[in-house]
Amino acid sequence: MIRRLLSVLLLLALTLRPGPDAWASSLDEVLAELRRLASTVQTLSSEFHQEKYLALFKDMLPAEGRFHYRRPDSLRWELTSPITTGFVIQGKRGRRWGDDSGREESFDIARQPLMGIVAGQLLAWTQADFERLRRDFEIFLENRTPVVLRLVPKKGMGDGFLERLLVFFAPDGRHVLRIEVHEQGGDFTRITFHDTRINEPLGDHLF
């Protein structure tokens, strides 16, 4: 009797479980809504706390920083502690700086492929450009309210070190609250954004 009841419950669970098409539809709906919400964001500023966890040494390396974005393609990403380093992107041009020299260096994204990848990923996330992100990642919906996405790199992306990304969105869906970058060796980096300000004027001096 119990075995038969378990069989019925299992069959019912399999019948009621959404199939792959339903999951895909749900994901597409969520991504479309995130894209719509992102289109209302003209500027975005945030402080962030970064934690780098090293599996081998059981250590955590903390850092603090700031992030600024202005539509369509201006962004600034900088660490402020324990070192000062960062970069600014405006369209196809950029500049970067670090503690070692104390000087700024200008660069052309077309001649700096690594910076192009970094800038492209940051802009894609800020603009919720999932069409672009899907070129490099398989995207899975981990939670719908609030939205949590899991991204698994496609072959050739991440040079074999990247295992997955976890991206946690704010309840209103307009910006990212937290990103976790998990590496294949067990190391991972967590970036938590706070004091986020949306659509406030940003001075040209930031870019």
Tokens of 121: 């990923």
The Cα–Cα gap between 83 and 97 comes to 11
Angle in degrees, CA 126, 197, 129, rounded to 5? 10
Question: Residue 21 falls within a domain, yes or no?
Answer: no
Structural domain boundaries, residue 191: 42-206
The Cα–Cα gap between 38 and 147 comes to 14
51 and 190 Cβ atoms separated by less than 8 Å = yes
Q: What is the pTM of this model?
A: 0.81
Domain containing residue 63: CATH number: 2.50.20.10
**The pLDDT value given to residue 99:** 76
- Residue 21, pLDDT > 90, answer no
Share of the chain above pLDDT 90, in %: 67
What domain count does the chain have? 1
Label residues 85-124 b or e (16+ Cβ within 10 Å = b): ebbbbbeeebebbeeeeeeeeeeebeeeeebbebbbbbbb
Question: Residue 120 falls within a domain, yes or no?
Answer: yes
Question: Residue 103 falls within a domain, yes or no?
Answer: yes
**The pLDDT value given to residue 16:** 38
pLDDT digits (tens, 9 = 90+) for 117-167: 888 888 999 999 999 999 999 999 999 999 999 999 998 766 678 899 999
Question: Residue 101 falls within a domain, yes or no?
Answer: yes
Question: Residue 125 falls within a domain, yes or no?
Answer: yes
pLDDT digits (tens, 9 = 90+) for 101-118: 668 999 998 888 778 888
The conformation of residue 110, written as its DSSP 8-state character, comes to G
**Could you tell me the pLDDT band of residue 18, with boundaries at 50, 70 and 90?**
very low
Question: Residue 131 falls within a domain, yes or no?
Answer: yes
